[in-house]
Amino acid sequence: MRVTFQEESFNEKCFNKIFQGLSFKWIGLELPMIKEIAEVERIENYKLPLLMFLLEDDTLLHMEIISDKIKPDLQSMLTYDMSIVLRYRMQVKTVILNFGSKQNSNFQRSFGSVYYNTQIVDLSGLDGERVHKEISQKISSGFPINEADKLSLVFLPFMKNSLPFNEVLLKVMSIIGKIKDEEERIAYLTVISEIVSRLIGKQGVEVLKEYLMDTEVGLSIKDAGVKEGMRESIIIILLEKFNVLPDDIYYAIAKQNNEDTLMKWLQMVTSICSIDELKKMVFNIE
């Protein structure tokens, strides 16, 4: 029987496709490779961490971005880091990537008796226009991009550039649109969309929506997100009713990819009163 198991979400799959197995050695961080993205529970009134990675040594890397216009929310960062340390007894290393003016190598603040120290990695010398040109040429020519290129592509919108942020973001979207592998294209667009929305909010989201609205990749992301939401809704309703679900039923719902079937189940599930009725619905038993 299964109660709390949750299948990897659509967003998690995209983040893991891009980041799994990578390291940040290209920016001078001598850390183990990334094992997977780590999603944390929201704490009311505090901003979610931008990025949280589980590393190969089972420690966590908390990563934020700052620039001349984007300032770190140290209170939120400390709150999440301390909650992980106290609740899960896991070590958290906090790193801030700086794409603005040159910053000190550490960011230190005292909160009462708590002393909070984060490492700043200064990337203010990175020329976003040069990086854009190099990666664009590689992708257009069909050459594979290396580890540094993959990470640069994710963070390219935040590098130094002579153009306004919205225009830089659209240029990055255009590069990603040239990636031949569909799953990889969707993963990059999803990852950048999520980072932008967490970092700068509505401004970046509107730019992304405008770009994705009528594109094949945008429709694929929307389709995948809709189906995931329907599957999660069905499972949540059923767990409210029955507390636990048999594994065969759980997996049948989690793996269902037909939108019409999911919509039918969503309409029927509220009137289901027993596991036997549920089996008839899921396995199409007359």
What are the pLDDT digits (tens) for 54-91? 999 999 999 999 887 787 888 889 899 988 888 888 89
**H/E run at residue 98:** strand 92-98
Going along the chain from its start, the domains and CATH numbers come out as: 1-124 (3.40.1350), 126-212 (no CATH), 220-282 (no CATH)
Instruction: Output the pLDDT for position 138.
Output: 93
Instruction: Output the pLDDT for position 3.
Output: 31
Instruction: Output the pLDDT for position 139.
Output: 92
How do residues 260-272 score in pLDDT, each as one tens digit?
A: 888 788 778 777 8
Biggest distance spanned by C-alpha atoms of the chain: 69
Instruction: Output the pLDDT for position 50.
Output: 92
Residue 269 DSSP class:
G
Q: How far apart are the first and last CA of the chain?
A: 25
Distance CA(75)–CA(47), nearest Å, equals 9
**H/E run at residue 154:** helix 147-155
* Regions of the chain with pLDDT less than 50: 1-6
The pTM (predicted TM-score) of the whole model is: 0.71
Are the CB atoms for 252 and 258 separated by under 8 Å? no
Instruction: Output the pLDDT for position 5.
Output: 38
What value, to the nearest 5°, has the Cα angle with vertex 51 and ends 124 and 145? 65
Q: How many residues does the chain have?
A: 286
Instruction: Output the pLDDT for position 6.
Output: 46
Cβ contacts of residue 128 below 8 Å, gap of 6+? 156, 159, 160, 161, 168
Instruction: Output the pLDDT for position 27.
Output: 85
Phi, psi at 30, each rounded to 5°: -85, 80
Instruction: Output the pLDDT for position 95.
Output: 93
Cβ contacts of residue 109 below 8 Å, gap of 6+? 74, 78, 115, 116
Instruction: Output the pLDDT for position 11.
Output: 80
Q: Which of 239, 278, 193 is nearest to 5 (CA)?
A: 239
Phi, psi at 54, each rounded to 5°: -90, 125
Instruction: Output the pLDDT for position 273.
Output: 82
Instruction: Output the pLDDT for position 217.
Output: 52
